[in-house]
Amino acid sequence: MMENAWIIPLFPLISFLLLLLLGKRLKESSAYIGIAFTLFSLLFSLLVLWERFTSPTYKIGTEWLKIGDLSITAGMEVNQLNALMLVIVSLVSFLVHMYSKGYMQGEERFSVFYAYLGLFTFAMLGLVLSPNLLQLYVFWELVGLGSFLLIGFYFYKEEAKQAAKKAFIMTRIGDVGLFIGMILLFWETGSFEYDAIFKAAAEGSISEGMITLTAIFIFIGAMGKSGQFPLHTWLPDAMEGPTPVSALIHAATMVAAGVYLVAAMFPLFSESSTALLIVAATGAFTAIFAASIGLVQTDIKRVLAYSTVSQLGYMMLALGTAGYVAGVFHLMTHAFFKALLFLAAGSVIHAVHTQNIEEMGGLWKKLKITGPLFLIGTLAISGVPLFSGFFSKDEILVSAWNHGNYILFFLALIAAFFTAFYMFRLFFLVFTGNQKKEAQNVHESPASMTIPMLILGFLAVVSGYVNTPWFGTFLGDWLTKGNHYLEHGHEDSPVWIMLAATLVSLAGITLAYMIYSKRSISRDWLGGEGSMMYNILYNKYYADEFYNLSIVRLTGIISVFFSYIDRFIVEGLVNGVTGTVQKLGKIGSRMQTGQVQQYGTIAFFGLAVLLIIFALTGGIFE
């Protein structure tokens, strides 16, 4: 089966092409095509994963492009990480395909939506199968295209247009980093293949400075895709897209591609402690930075978006502190519980037709399925024991502690507190308290939406048990087996870390309960709305404003400056030349006086000048 893994991305591609051609006629039955083809992908992915448990890594490649003596190959590779990613991506994509059938009902461009979903799934599956950096880059850009198209799905909305543009451009800034890093590595090693690069890095045939430099460039690419500070601002805006898209692309899969990239290139990063430190510090800072913004947002999807940014920061922190398994583990659990949260949020939005959590409340009784599922997701992300997020977050904290960087460890701990607090703030505001008048005619969503949520809810609970300090670290053992570039991820950890993590998350939950449910603490206890701190957080540290005033403004200034050069210097020069020619012409015409004496004089002087020139140079016949 593994040798046929290349067929997995082709299913959604076929779905994309079919829907482009036939979508107009199929209308809402387009959904069945999309669902069927992603189901094929999912089944094949499961088979590949199953086979990968027992077989070694499978890799094929063939020449794609020849440049002189250089040969650039294309192919695919099925190693542990890829096989795991295949299942995560195709599973979430399948569930989102199913969910969208209900959610997007009545949408005029229904088939287009499914076509785009197919395109995205194709690119994402292609990305994880790539055996080399160039091929990864190709699919990397294509997932960006899918994301761009889906954010801008409601193209007539100005916000959607701006958000799509921003997403494309901000991620492209990162992409150029990846582009440069990839090419520099190529000239160092003569190959884009991961294996060749790791071999060269391990053998020391790349200088240490170069390893650090290329690793940083590649990390810039990962920062763009995974919304790491300072390239994070596009991700919350991407919530303008339909909610199922937010679940698939901007929570579970594409944004995790940056983490995947660092994980896939981990042997290179691990050769440079500077690069690792940068990854860890960026991750930790982003984790707490985004979490603090999430504390005060009032749009249900934005809160989730900032929590995604924050959780991605966690994963980066894990990788940066050499916690390869911890990073990948959290990537997996996060994919499940965050997709669950987004789909549940979509179900809420579907019911109440608003995204503002201040306008919601008391939905627990009305949404009998969505409510408990949202709670499961919230418990998982908050790191409450026995839920999946608890185990993966614990791994990360252990990794940060064992790495010896205590500042980062405490940042991560505080971020965990924030996470528990704002997630339960969200939960209490939406599901408890009094029902608002907007929420009168509320119904639970149809089965096509609740079934995918149930599956994800199940996974959000159990997926943690594949790697626990209590029952065994199956995932970690398997991920690192036979890969001599990776050390085993899990190390024995002080028990107090697990206790601390639990306490911190319970503290966050309790505080949220006191403020937003029991209301025994005033909402304004820390300054409240209108205070400076609140404004800074609510306006996301003014990052967008800062970019508008600096980079965007600068681009405009350079452009205007160039346009002046174009208009005055370049055109001026040309006009000068034509002007001179005209003047010369006028002088010439002025000489045409008709007076023979004057012509004679000029002819005489001309002859004299010619003779002098000949006399001095010796004439043409040397």
Partner 1 sequence: MNEILLSVLVFSPLIGILALCFISKNQEKAIKWAGILATVPALALSLFLYSYYLGGNNLSAFSEKVRWIQFGSIANADSKLFAVDYELALDGFALLMVLLTAVLSTLSAIASISIKKEWKGYFMLFLLLETGMLGVFMAQNMVLFFIFFEITLIPAFFLIGKWGYIEKEKAAFSFLIYNGFGSAVLLIVIMVLFARAGTSNIEALRYIINVGGVPLVSPITEGMKYGLLIALLIAFGVKLPIFPLHTWMLRVHVQAPPPIVMLHAGVLLKIGAFGLIRFGLGIFPEQFKDLSVIIAVLGVINLLYGAFLAFIQKEFKMVLAYSSISHMGIVLIGLGALNESGIQGAIFQVVSHGLIAALLFFLVGVIYERVQTTSLSNLGGLSKAMPLTSGFLLAGAMASLGLPGMSGFISEFMAFLGLFKTDPLLAGIGALGIIITAVYLLRAVMGITFGKQGVSVRTKAMRDLNSVEMVPVLVLLAFIVIIGIYPSILSNPLEDTIQLIMTGLGGQAG
- Least Å distance, CB 106 to partner 1, is 18
Residue 322 sits at φ, ψ, to 5 deg, of 65, 20
Mapped onto helix, strand or coil, the DSSP state of residue 77 is strand
- CA dist., res. 334 & res. 362, Å (int): 27
Mapped onto helix, strand or coil, the DSSP state of residue 558 is helix
Per-residue b/e over 486-515, b at no fewer than 16 CB within 10 Å?
Answer: beebbeebeeebbebbbebbbebbebbbeb
- Least Å distance, CB 607 to partner 1, is 26
Which CB, 70 or 462, lies closer to partner 1?
A: 70
**Sign of the torsion angle spanned by Cα atoms 83, 85, 88, 91:** negative
Which CB, 581 or 603, lies closer to partner 1?
A: 581
Mapped onto helix, strand or coil, the DSSP state of residue 536 is helix
- Least Å distance, CB 555 to partner 1, is 7
Which CB, 111 or 463, lies closer to partner 1?
A: 111
Report the 10 Å Cβ neighbour count for 59.
15
Which CB, 203 or 622, lies closer to partner 1?
A: 622
- Least Å distance, CB 172 to partner 1, is 5
Which CB, 51 or 141, lies closer to partner 1?
A: 141
- Least Å distance, CB 64 to partner 1, is 8
- Least Å distance, CB 567 to partner 1, is 9
Burial label for 69, CB within 10 Å (0-12, 13-18, 19+), is exposed
Could you list the residues that contact partner 1 (CB under 8 A)? 64-70, 134, 137-139, 141-142, 145, 152, 155-158, 160-161, 164-165, 168-169, 172-173, 175-176, 179-180, 183-184, 186-187, 555-556, 558-560, 562-563, 566, 569-571, 573-574, 578
- Least Å distance, CB 127 to partner 1, is 11
Return the bridge partners of 408, or none.
Answer: none
- Least Å distance, CB 269 to partner 1, is 21
Report the 10 Å Cβ neighbour count for 528.
12
Which has the closest alpha carbon to 439: 528, 370, 534, 520? Answer: 370
For the chain, report the end-to-end CA distance as a whole number of angstroms. 84
> Residues near 143 by Cβ (< 8 Å), separated by ≥ 6?
120, 123, 124, 127, 249, 254, 257
Note whether 470 and 351 are within 8 A (CB). Answer: no
Which CB, 11 or 422, lies closer to partner 1?
A: 11
- CA dist., res. 169 & res. 166, Å (int): 5
Return the bridge partners of 74, or none.
Answer: 62
- Least Å distance, CB 205 to partner 1, is 17
Which CB, 39 or 138, lies closer to partner 1?
A: 138
Which CB, 67 or 532, lies closer to partner 1?
A: 67
- Least Å distance, CB 451 to partner 1, is 33
Which CB, 193 or 394, lies closer to partner 1?
A: 193
Residue 523 sits at φ, ψ, to 5 deg, of -65, -20
If residue 63 lies in a helix (H) or strand (E), which one and from where to where? Answer: strand 58-67
Measured in whole angstroms, how far is the alpha carbon of residue 130 from the centre of its chain? Answer: 17
Note whether 64 and 134 are within 8 A (CB). Answer: no
Which CB, 174 or 361, lies closer to partner 1?
A: 174
